[in-house]
Amino acid sequence: MPVDISKMLSDAAYQAYERNLVQQVKSRPVPEHVAIIMDGNRRFAESIGLRPLTGHEKGREKLEEVLEWCLEAGVKILTVYAFSTENFSRDTEEVGHIMRLFAENFRRAGDEGRVHKNQIRITVLGRRDMLPREVVEAIEYCEARTKGYDKYRLNLAIAYGGREEILDAIRGLVRDARSGKIAPEDVDEKFFSRRLWTADIPDPDLILRTSGEERISNFFLWQLAYSELYFVDVYWPGFRKIDFLRAIRSYQMRHRRFGK
């Protein structure tokens, strides 16, 4: 079989570029918390002639890769937008397939050696009452197995909606105000933040979205106030390590003023 010299040179150049990016990223402080809107599973599958449902399986595999990249770079918290409250309106077969993947993957994550070796705490953010029982049970199993860890965190936003999260917090405040537990002057930004589903998680430093779409899609509407945003024109399963490193590098080159 003839050797493809051009491909070998191309691969070598790519690897050299990736190594250079890794060195650049590690030379400066990395974001503590990276949040990713994982978009484009179905379109990725269709673009290479696969069934749309296969795209979600490819997306799951990509998340495992990205988690490894975060560990390598030193990113302490990774949050991914995996399934929105609006996604339940999709085709029944697709939703069912995704729910089966969730149940399978949370069970597996709870037992995964890499998770325990790196002391990764796994948490789910969202409306669990909207999820099938087997998915909730798998989530609870995974969370219970990792709740004692504090070295790294992996948060998955499932059955999540930013507006619903804020409304849920407001409802709780109204109930407490009616019962006399809190007064209006008690409520400030920090107080309100503690009533959100992300109460014990710092706001993301960097929010990244794949697929080329440049919108937030009801994700972290309160938490993104001072986050840096980065959009990449590649479908989630096709997201490469150099795409990830470029996003981190872009963040490092920015001057965060927090409104000052």
**All domains in the chain, ordered by first residue:** 31-161+204-253 (3.40.1180.10)
Q: Which one of 11, 20, 39, 155 is the catalytic residue?
A: 39
pLDDT for the residue numbered 58? 97
pLDDT for the residue numbered 6? 58
Q: Residue 231 forms beta bridges with which residues?
A: 209
pTM, full prediction = 0.94
Verify whether residue 87 is a known catalytic residue: yes
Query: For residues 174 and 180, what is the distance between their CA atoms, to the nearest angstrom?
Result: 10
pLDDT for the residue numbered 170? 97
19-45: b or e for each residue (b if 16 or more CB lie within 10 Å)?
Answer: eebbeebeeeebbebbbbbbbbbbbbb
Verify whether residue 218 is a known catalytic residue: no
Give me the tens of pLDDT residue by residue for the chain, a chain 260 residues long.
555 655 655 788 888 999 999 999 999 999 999 999 999 999 999 999 999 999 999 999 999 999 999 999 999 999 999 999 999 999 999 999 999 999 999 999 999 999 999 999 999 999 999 999 999 999 999 999 999 999 999 999 999 999 999 999 999 999 999 999 999 999 999 999 999 999 999 999 999 999 999 999 999 999 999 999 999 999 999 999 999 999 999 999 998 887 77
SS (H, E, C) the chain: CCCCHHHHHHHHHHHHHHHHHHHHHHCCCCCCEEEEECCCHHHHHHHCCCCHHHHHHHHHHHHHHHHHHHHHHCCCEEEEEEEECHHHHCCHHHHHHHHHHHHHHHHHHHHCHHHHHCCEEEEEECCHHHCCHHHHHHHHHHHHHHCCCCCEEEEEEEEECHHHHHHHHHHHHHHHHHCCCCCHHHCCHHHHHCCCCCCCCCCCCEEEECCCCCCCCCCCCCHHHHCEEEECCCCHHHCCHHHHHHHHHHHHHCCCCCCC
CA of 223: how far to CAs of 35, 146, 171, 202, 227, in Å?
11, 24, 18, 8, 8
CA of 104: how far to CAs of 33, 57, 98, 172, in Å?
26, 11, 10, 33
Q: Which one of 4, 41, 87, 188 is the catalytic residue?
A: 87
